A and B are shown apart, each in its own frame.
Chain A
């Protein structure tokens, strides 16, 4: 059995490999959410966070562009009410609204033939429609990562764009090699079956991951036991 980590735990794991995330705070009440929003600066994003929540956007569990204390309080209350018993909810994440017109997706996937791979794609939440994607096998060298970025068809999106500076290729390279390092290291004996950084927003030229979802593979010993048990 594979299992997913909560958004917060996913970010902690990947941040240890150098993936840049926006600052955020976990809260469990609307009042704490308002205090966190004031520390981080409005506007903010509120997201329900739990071990077993994988498709937050599809379930309406992400509230963007909260501009006032009242909005933050209301959104947080609604998110906590929307939690299902099996979501494994640990609270609501409050994060500053990261702005940028360009979004990417990056992550780890396990290929049945080739094992762990790292992926980079254009479009963030639209990536599956855009289909401008490049993949490499783990482990990635810096050069592999730079060539992955070159491989994308939408090169114009990576240069200076609508008044924003060009994408920091060094920083984006570090995201990809960081994912490779995370895939090699695994987590507490588990392999990382998959990881999504979706979206990675290009904020003033710098890649910032604003969401993360890590899916762990089974422990190797358990995998072997599964096979011998009837």
Chain B
């Protein structure tokens, strides 16, 4: 295989130990090198984000004139830092200053450095040589180097938001490693939108010393991370990536989005096989062999990771759709039927009879289980429970949540609601009932899923149309993802089923 200088293995045990990663993700103190008084500069924004997101360790900053920024009295040099109090240096200074900064930081006990600094490998051959020198220096100084040309690092267990962009996500168990800073932001924005949280997030920048694979390897040993989510492009050493994927996916779900998926064949010269074996297909095959989950789009990648993080793995692929209204169920059943890894379960006779006891005869009596408006106060939780506990059912898609609460919203805001103690049209009691019921159905779905160990995915466009609807809001409060469409839920469930099958076949789990 082709050897590139940057692909040669570093002495990982020296600069990529657990202690080094802990300096990056759980630093006792942080210094922003190159803090700026200008709110448009990286050196201002990164310090602002560190100070404003609740980081509890000591925060230092440096700049040339020792001015005050955001209430922090800046040091003129990193060399003035107190010995042993700062683990992480966040660098916002120009390239020429970096070698001295690293030496001074190392002398004060800093073990990790994140570099936003540009002008390295991304800028041409001269920059690439500087980048190699930088890596060698960090190795010599025993510093874990991340970047350069990166966007930052987020670590919710430490309330650390050391990055030059928004947002800071809710805390959770998804670890993000990305070759593109923009995708870190995208995934974090999805986290904010859905409430499914993040443990660590790193933009690897040029990945000079610390690659996406290195970060994934760390996630696989990290107690705070249960699911790894990665964006990759321009793979140089495919076998190294495959090795990392295999190690990580053996420990936790690994969801991968890859850019640059459409280039040509491997070697089209003499062989038809070469023309057909495109690098995208090789990557696909590598994911299948290592147990990684490959997603086609940003939202699919996030939702797959969020689903792994919040739902139990199914033991099989037989799915039941439960809906309060017909059309949704039919279309969702079609999507399941079309999905090559999922099976729309033919409703077992004993389950049909059990549901008969809870509904008037007009219900669908098949899968999708369409309640057809025949439900009373407790029907939805009761029928969900019956379906979930049936041994032939492996997973449920739950549709129709929030409809009544959406009408309640209109009743509340339509001008006839009255106000506290004054209910001229008798609206308030029914509004409260519907809102309570939809919240209760969401909680029931999460509880039944947890009790039976089977995934129950709730989907409604109300999750995005009216996120405050008590139905979707209660799904989020239960820590789960409320899918914006049934198709998205089916796609996410397909990823769970594939991984479960991979593990079952390889390990018998």
Contacts and interface: CB of A to CB of B under 8 A. Distances in A.
Interface string A105-123: 1111111111101010100
Nearest to B240: A113
Given A117-B282, A143-B505, A108 B273 contact: yes
Q: Which of B237, B267, B279 has the most CB of A within 10 A?
A: B267
A134 interface: yes
Interface in A116-156: 117, 119, 121, 127-128, 131, 133-137, 143-144, 147-148, 151
A196 B266 CA distance: 13
A7 interface: no
B285 A193 contact: no
A57 B215 CA distance: 50
A213 interface: yes
Contact of A113 (B267, B270, B276, B282): B282
A115 B239 contact: yes
Interface in B247-275: 265-267, 269-275
B280 to A, nearest CB: 9
Contacts of A215: 269-271
18 contacts: A107-B271, A109-B266, A109-B273, A109-B276, A110-B266, A111-B282, A114-B279, A114-B282, A115-B238, A119-B276, A119-B277, A127-B272, A133-B281, A134-B281, A137-B282, A144-B288, A194-B273, A196-B272
A8 interface: no
Given A111-B238, A113-B237, A194 B271 contact: yes
Given A127-B272, A127-B276, A114 B242 contact: yes
B272 A113 contact: no
B389 to A, nearest CB: 31
Contacts of B235: 113
Contacts of A105: 272-273, 276
B267 A135 contact: no
B277 A136 contact: no
Q: Which of B274, B284, B286, B505 has the most CB of A within 10 A?
A: B274
Nearest to A115: B1
**9 nearest A-B residue pairs (beta carbon):** A107-B273, A113-B238, A109-B277, A114-B238, A194-B271, A135-B285, A135-B281, A136-B285, A111-B282
Q: Which of B235, B242, B281 has the most CB of A within 10 A?
A: B281
A131 B272 CA distance: 11
B133 interface: no
Contact of B279 (A54, A112, A121): A112
A133 B277 CA distance: 8
B343 to A, nearest CB: 14
B273 to A, nearest CB: 3
Given A135-B284, A147-B288, A148-B285, A113 B271 contact: no
Interface of A: 2, 4, 54, 105-115, 117, 119, 121, 127-128, 131, 133-137, 143-144, 147-148, 151, 193-196, 198, 213, 215
B100 interface: no
Interface of B: 1-2, 235-239, 242, 265-267, 269-277, 279, 281-286, 288-289, 505-506
Q: Which of A110, A111, A127, A128 has the most CB of B within 10 A?
A: A111
A121 B276 contact: yes
Contacts of A119: 273, 276-277, 281
A121 B275 CA distance: 12
A147 B341 CA distance: 12
A113 B236 contact: yes
Given A113-B235, A133-B281, A196-B273, 11 more contacts: A4-B270, A109-B273, A109-B276, A109-B277, A110-B266, A110-B267, A117-B282, A117-B285, A119-B276, A128-B275, A198-B273
A128 B273 CA distance: 9
A4 B272 CA distance: 13
Nearest to B502: A147
B277 A128 contact: no
Given A113-B237, A113-B282, A119-B277, A137 B289 contact: yes
Nearest to A194: B271
B272 A128 contact: yes
Given A110-B267, A137-B242, A117 B506 contact: no
A206 B279 CA distance: 30
A196 B271 contact: yes
A135 B505 contact: no
A134 B271 contact: no
B203 to A, nearest CB: 22
Contacts of B2: 112
A137 B286 contact: yes
Contacts of B272: 105, 107, 127-128, 196, 198
A109 B275 CA distance: 9
Contacts of A148: 285
B239 to A, nearest CB: 6
A75 B284 CA distance: 44
Contact of B267 (A109, A151, A213): A109
Q: Which of B236, B239, B273, B275 has the most CB of A within 10 A?
A: B273
Contacts of A113: 235-238, 279, 282
Nearest to A106: B273
A53 to B, nearest CB: 11
Nearest to A137: B286
A171 B12 CA distance: 43
A195 B273 contact: yes
B282 to A, nearest CB: 4
Contacts of B270: 2, 4, 54, 194, 213, 215
A193 B266 CA distance: 10
A111 B276 contact: no
A133 B276 contact: yes
Nearest to A136: B285
A106 B277 CA distance: 10
B238 A193 contact: no
Contact of A109 (B236, B238, B274): B274
A151 B288 contact: yes
Q: Which of B265, B282, B286 has the most CB of A within 10 A?
A: B282
A147 B501 CA distance: 11
B271 A114 contact: no
A213 B273 CA distance: 10
Contacts of A108: 273
